[in-house]
Structure 1
Amino acid sequence: MNPQIEDILPLSPTQQGLLFHTLYDENKSAAYVVQFTFDLTGPLDAAALKAAAEALVQRHANLRARFLHHTAEPVQIIVRQITLPWQDIDLRDLTPQEREAELMRWLQEDRVRPFEPAQAPLLRFALIQLAPQRARLVFTSHHILLDGWSMPIFLNELFVLYRTRGDDSALAPPVPYRNYLGWLKHQDRDKSLSAWKESLSGLAEPTLLTADQIEKSGRQEILACSLSQELTQSLGGRARQHGLTLNTLLQGAWGLLLGRLTGREDVVFGITVSGRPPELPGVERMVGLFINTVPLRLRFQLLEPVAQAMVRLQDEQSAMAAHQHLGLSEIQRLAGFPALFDTLFVFENYPVDANARGLAHDPLQVSRASGHGGDKTHYPLSVVAIPGTQLQLRVGYRPDLWDRAAVEQLVARLQQVLHAIAADPSQPIGG
C-alpha cells in the first residue's frame, strides 16, 4: 500500500448517495456544503486553536478521507497526513457596519464554495477576528464526512484539545468510524430486505406532491416559522399522554396532511434516522456520517382516532428500527417504484446541546452562531422540526417547483393539523 494511504474503506449507503448526487446531479456542486459558525468571546490563542483543529483531524481518520467512484465499488481512501485548510481573517480595523457586511459576504461565499470529493480533506476552518476578545470560528465541510449528530462531539473534543494544546490524553481513545462500516458489513441484509418488503407490501403507488421533476436544480429556499410556546407545550403533553414521542406525533401530523393533499389513506414520505446502532460499542462517541433516509408509511382510516393511528405508527417504526441501515435505493427497488416519495421529514433532536460550549470558569466562551446547509436536500420539499420551548419548522423547497405562497399555505395547513391534535387527539382523523 502507498505509504501516504492509511486505510481504504467502503462507503455507507448514505455516503454512496451523497457521492452520487455530488458527482452526477446538475448544479449540485455546493448543495452538500455544510457551514457551522461559532462565536468566541474572551481571550483567544489562535495558534492553539489551529493546533487543536489539526489534532482533531488527525485523531479521527475518516475526516482525512477522499472519495473515489471510478472503481468497481466507490471507496474512501484515508490519507495519512493532510495540510489543514485554515484561514486567519482580521476584520477588527473595520467600522461595525463594514465588518458586518464583510463577514456576511465572506460567509456566503464560503458556503457556496464546493469540495472536490477526490481531494482530501473535505473540510476547512477559518478564524475571523471581529473585535478585541471577540472572534468567529467557521467550520465548513462536505456532508459526506459527518452529520449534525456528530457536531456536539466534534466541538467538545476541539475545545478539550484547545485547552490541552493538542494533547488528546484528556480524551477517551477515539472510536473509529471504520467500526461502524464493519458493523454494516455484518448485518443480515436478507433479513432487512424481507422486513422492508413486508412493510411496503400492498402499496399501490408512490406519494408525490410534485408531478414534474424533470429539471434538475440545486437551488433551495427556506421558509422558517416557530410555533407558540403554548402549542409546543400542548403537543408535548399530548405525546406523553399517549406514550408517543414528539417525533412520532409530528411525523403523524405530516402524514395526515399528505393524505389530505393526495386524497389517500396510505401515504409514504422520507424520514431521516440517526443511524447509530445502540449495540455498537462507543457509537455515541463516534464522529462521522450515520444518518440515513428511509421511507415511513402511514396507513389510517378517516373514522379512527388520531391517537390510535399514531400509536400504531410508533409500533411499526419500532419494529423497523433494526433495519433502518439499508440504503434507500435498495428499499425502493423492493417496492417496485423508482421513487417512493418526494417529501422529507426531519426531527432534528441532537443527543447533546450544540448551542453552547465552555464552562462558567473558562475564560473563553463558545456559543453556536449559525448553521447552513445541513438541512438542504435534493427533494422538492423537506420539513425540519427543531424542538425547543418553541418548536421551529424549517421548510426547504425548490423554487422551480414550488412558489413561496404555496409553501406558506402548506405550513399554515400543517399548523392547523397540529392545533387539532393538541386540542383533541381522540377525535376521528376525518374531522
Structure 2
Amino acid sequence: MTFEEVLEYAAVHDVRLTGVDGTLRYDAPADAVTPELVAALRSYKGQLLRWLAAPADEREVTRAPLSAQQNRMMENVERTGNSSGWNVGLRLELVGELDVAALDAAVDGLLARHHALRARLAPDGDVRTQRILAHQRVPLPVVDLTTLAPDQARQRAEQACRAVVEPAFGLADEAPVRYALIRLDPGESWLVLVVHHIACDGWAISVLLRDLAAGYRSAYAGGTADFGPPAAQCTGYARWQREQWDESTRRRRLAHWAEHLGEGPLTLDLAFDGPAPDRPTGRAATHRFEIPDEVRLAAGALAQARGATVGAVTAAAMALLLARLSGQPDVTLSVPHANRSPRPYEEAVTVMTTALPLRVRTTAAPTFAELVDQTAASLFAGIDNLLPTAWIYGQFLGPGGGGMPSGVMVSFAFQNTLDMRLELPGLAVRVHDVPTDAERGALMFGLVPGPDRLDGYLEYPLDRLTGETARRWTARYVDLLADVCQHPDRPLGDA
C-alpha cells in the first residue's frame, strides 16, 4: 500500500486513526484489519502522525477528477450563479421517543461512510478535482424549541428548517451537506438534511435514507452505528468512468444520438406569461398536482398492453402537450435516467443520473398508442447508447459551443427510483422534500409514483410564468393523459 492508499482504505473501511503522545492507534471493524493494513500502519507511522497533527481542513484522504455528471452539475452551478436551487432538502418528521444519541451516531456515520459528503470541489489546473477530506466528528446541531408554546415552536421550526436548507453551498471550501435536529416537543422532532445535487441524485437519497435507518437501528440497539459492508465511493466511480470510454464506442453512440435528434431545434418556443427579463431574479416556484387514480390505472394498463413503462406513457403525453403548447411537432425532453451501473457502484452516494435527450416526433405517430411505442423505443435505445449529456449536445453546438443548448429546455422526470420510506424503531416517520424556490434554469415536470398514487409537480421560473398558468398547464396535462389513455387508438388529430 502507498500512503495515499492507506488513507483511502481507512476512509472506506471505517478505520479510525488517532495519534496520542507519538503513538498511532486505530479502531476498526475486525474484518477491516488485514495483515497488509497493519504492516502499512507500521511503515507509515511517522507520516500518519504528521498527517493527524495537521489542521482538519488540510487532512486530505484522496482526490480524483470529477465524473461527467459532476462536471455537468458544476457547469449548471456556474451558469445559474451558484443558485441554491441545486440544494436537495429533506425534512424527516420524527414522532415518538427519539434516541438523540443514536441519531447523532447515525448521522456522523453517514459522513464517515460516504466520500461525497466530505468533498471539496474546485479547479486543479485545467480540470476540476474532488478532494476528500478526513472525517471529523461534529456533534449533531440541535435547535431546542421544547419550552415554547406549540404554535410558536412550529413557526420557529419552519424558520430554522429554511435556515438549514436555503443557503447556497461554497463547494470549493464547504462540504456539500448540512443538517440539524429541531426539537419541537419531547414527542416530535425534525431532522433537516440538505445535500447539494453534485453529491446526490434521487437514487442516492434513497441510499442515504436506508443507511441512516441502518445506522440508527444498530446504534439504538448497541450504542454504535453499523452500516454493513464498505460503500462504493464517488471517487472510484469517477476514475472508472474515465477508463471505460474507448473511441470506437464513443463514435458509435454519438452516431446514434445524431440520428435520433436530427436537425430540428432542441429547445421549445413556449407561450410564457412574459419575456425573459434582462436581470432575472432567479426565483422559482413549484406547483404540485395529483394524477387521479383512474388515470394512473389507465396509464398502467396502456403501458402493459404496449410492452412499455408508465414512464414512457406519461412522457409521450407530456411531449404531446408541449407540441400543442409550442406549435412544434418535434419535442425534445430532457429525461433523467438513474444510470446505476456498473453494479459495484449501484449504491454509491453521488450524482450518477444522466439526462437523456428524448426526441418525440408527434406527427410521425397516427395514434397515441403508436406515440407510446415510439417513445419507449427511443428511451430503450437511449439507455443502450448512454453517454455523458454534454458530449451528446456538444456535437450539435460546434466547437466552443458549450455543453447545453440555449433556450427553453423542458425536463421530464419519472422518479420511480426515489424511495423516501423510512422505518426507525419507536418512531413514526414522514419524509418531505423542502424546495428552496430558486431557479435551476429549465421547466421541470416530474411525476413521483407511490404504492397507490401518482403525484406530480411543475417547477417554473417566476420571471416567466404565473401560478395560474402553471396550474392551467398541469390541469391540461392531466386531462390529456386521461383522454389519450382512454382512447389510445383514436387518431391524434381527433384528440
TM over 0.5: yes
3-state SS in 2 of match to 1:405: helix
Which whole-Å CA distance do the structure 1 matches of 2:113 and 2:382 have between them?
34
Contact 2:105 2:224 in 1 (8 A): no
Letter in 1 for 2:245: Q
Q: Which runs of 5+ in 1 are unaligned?
A: none
Moved more, 2-11 or 307-316: 2-11
Moved more, 90-99 or 15-24: 15-24
Contact 2:95 2:189 in 1 (8 A): yes
Which whole-Å CA distance do the structure 2 matches of 1:323 and 1:372 have between them?
34
Once the two structures are TM-superposed, the CA of residue 44 in structure 1 deviates from its matched residue by 2.4
What residue in structure 2 maps to residue 114 of structure 1? Answer: 168
What residue in structure 2 maps to residue 314 of structure 1? Answer: 376
1:171-224 CA distance string (max 9 Å, x none): 122122233223321124333322222222232563332674754442111111
1:267 aligns with 2:331: yes
Which whole-Å CA distance do the structure 2 matches of 1:128 and 1:75 have between them?
34
Pairs within 5 Å for 1:124-273 = 124-165=178-219, 167=224, 171-185=228-242, 186-188=244-246, 189-203=250-264, 206-209=267-270, 212=276, 215-273=279-337
Once the two structures are TM-superposed, the CA of residue 29 in structure 1 deviates from its matched residue by 3.4
3-state SS in 1 of match to 2:199: coil
3-state SS in 2 of match to 1:183: helix
Which whole-Å CA distance do the structure 2 matches of 1:84 and 1:24 have between them?
33
3-state SS in 2 of match to 1:202: coil
Flag the structure with larger Rg. 2
Match of 2:148 among 90, 94, 106: 94
What residue in structure 1 maps to residue 492 of structure 2? Answer: 429
Which whole-Å CA distance do the structure 2 matches of 1:87 and 1:32 have between them?
23
Contact 1:266 1:298 in 2 (8 A): yes
1:402 aligns with 2:465: yes
Which whole-Å CA distance do the structure 2 matches of 1:21 and 1:61 have between them?
22
Contact 2:80 2:440 in 1 (8 A): no
1:57-94 CA distance string (max 9 Å, x none): 11112221011036311111111233547311111111
1:54 aligns with 2:121: no
What residue in structure 2 maps to residue 372 of structure 1? Answer: 434
Once the two structures are TM-superposed, the CA of residue 252 in structure 1 deviates from its matched residue by 0.3
3-state SS in 1 of match to 2:289: strand
Which whole-Å CA distance do the structure 1 matches of 2:161 and 2:319 have between them?
36
Once the two structures are TM-superposed, the CA of residue 256 in structure 1 deviates from its matched residue by 0.8
Contact 1:25 1:216 in 2 (8 A): no
Which whole-Å CA distance do the structure 1 matches of 2:238 and 2:266 have between them?
33
Return the TM-score normalized by structure 1: 0.90
Which whole-Å CA distance do the structure 2 matches of 1:205 and 1:356 have between them?
39
Letter in 2 for 1:191: R
1:249-271 CA distance string (max 9 Å, x none): 11100111111122232111211
Aligned CA-pair RMSD:
2.5
Aligned length: 422
Contact 1:85 1:123 in 2 (8 A): no
| Cα pair distance change 1:84/1:19, threshold 3 Å | farther
Which whole-Å CA distance do the structure 2 matches of 1:249 and 1:34 have between them?
27
Identical pairs, percent: 25
| Cα pair distance change 1:266/1:195, threshold 3 Å | same
Match of 1:412 among 475, 480, 483: 475
Which whole-Å CA distance do the structure 2 matches of 1:324 and 1:373 have between them?
29
1:9-65 CA distance string (max 9 Å, x none): 122233223223334534x43221221111223332222321221122111122210
Q: Which runs of 5+ in 2 are unaligned?
A: 5-49, 52-58
What residue in structure 2 maps to residue 9 of structure 1? Answer: 64
3-state SS in 2 of match to 1:285: coil
Which whole-Å CA distance do the structure 1 matches of 2:431 and 2:266 have between them?
43
1:332-372 CA distance string (max 9 Å, x none): 23223833752111111126x323323xxx33x25233112
Match of 2:393 among 322, 332, 340: 332
Once the two structures are TM-superposed, the CA of residue 311 in structure 1 deviates from its matched residue by 0.7
Return the TM-score normalized by structure 2: 0.79
